[in-house]
Amino acid sequence: MARSKSSGRWLKEHFDDVYVQRSRQDGYRSRASYKLLEINEKGQFIKPGMTVIDLGSAPGGWSQVAAKLVGDHGRVIASDILPMDAIAGVDFIQGDFTEQEVFDQIMELLDAQLADLVISDMAPNMSGMSAVDQPKAMYLVELALDMALQTLRPGGAFIAKVFQGEGFDAYLRSVRDSFRKVSTRKPSSSRSRSREVYLVAEDYNGQSGS
């Protein structure tokens, strides 16, 4: 079956993409790794010895970055509905983290500790129709926030991809209810036409805000 012109353009753009090329050279699983690296560069959110939870982790680009930065004395707990190949220093749980069984497995790995940081680069499969995609995207990031509020230590941080559009302002307010400092970032590796931004929420106040 012949490819459409638009999919042909996307493929060309993808393979010409400097971050796609760099990810191959640097051994990262996806160009998304550079988004987390750039966000972390400005704030040093991921430090040696930390416990990090990576939600929607497959194929593993963010887990790779986190594992490298927390080092041998830190740990990364990753979860995704999709399978993910093993990464040194990462405990991976396949399944839906909103389901009790998967949530219990994450809590078991935490072993009565609390996480220092929860990260989420989750996005739904995009249809290209904003009226369909935006509610799905907001639902995922609301689930990520809920997980963060259940697993973070007071003073912990949360980094998540959010799509600007309907529901964004209300979501931002709910994050500000629970974190003392909240900012938005648009990494240079994020495609300019994309509505994605990254919320960086610091200093969890230990309250769910609900």
Any known ligand binding at 62?
yes
Any known ligand binding at 133?
no
Closest alpha carbon to 119 in 88, 85, 80: 80
Model confidence at 42, pLDDT cuts 50, 70, 90, reads confident
Tokens of 175: 């994050």
- Pick the more confident residue, 5 or 42: 42
Closest alpha carbon to 52 in 140, 122, 153: 153
pLDDT in the model for residue 15:
47
Any known ligand binding at 56?
no
Any known ligand binding at 96?
yes
| HSE toward the beta carbon, residue 129, CA cutoff 13 A | 3
Q: Assess whether pLDDT exceeds 50 at residue 10.
A: no
- Pick the more confident residue, 166 or 26: 166
pLDDT in the model for residue 56:
95
Segments of the chain assigned E as strands: 51-55, 75-80, 90-94, 115-120, 152-163, 179-185, 196-204
Distances (CA, A) of 73 to 40, 46, 87, 159: 19, 13, 15, 21
Catalytic residues: 161
Instruction: Work out the average pLDDT over 20-37.
Output: 74
pLDDT in the model for residue 45:
95
| Residue 168 near residue 174 (C-beta atoms within 8 A) | no
Which of 3-7, 108-112, 153-157 has the highest mean predicted lDDT (pLDDT)?
Answer: 153-157
Low-confidence winner among 91-105, 106-120, 156-170, 186-200 (lowest mean pLDDT): 186-200
Model confidence at 20, pLDDT cuts 50, 70, 90, reads low
Instruction: Work out the average pLDDT over 169-184.
Output: 97
Burial pattern 111-143, b for ≥16 Cβ within 10 A else e, equals: eeeebbbbbbbbbeeeeeeeeebbeebbebbbb
Q: In the 3-class helix/strand/coil scheme, how is 57-113 assigned residue by residue?
A: CCCCHHHHHHHHHHCCCCEEEEEECCCCCCCCCEEEEECCCCCHHHHHHHHHHHCCC
Distance CA 201, CA 112 (A): 23
Q: Where are the domains of the chain?
A: 32-204
Q: Residues 123-174: pLDDT tens digits?
A: 888 888 888 889 999 999 999 999 999 999 999 999 999 999 999 999 999 9
Global pTM?
0.87
Domain 32-204: top CATH class: alpha beta
Cβ–Cβ contacts within 10 Å for residue 21, how many?
12
Tokens of 49: 């010895």
| Residue 115 near residue 106 (C-beta atoms within 8 A) | no
Model confidence at 17, pLDDT cuts 50, 70, 90, reads low
The per-residue pLDDT of the chain, averaged, comes to: 88
Q: Residues 58-91: pLDDT tens digits?
A: 999 999 999 999 999 999 999 999 999 999 999 9
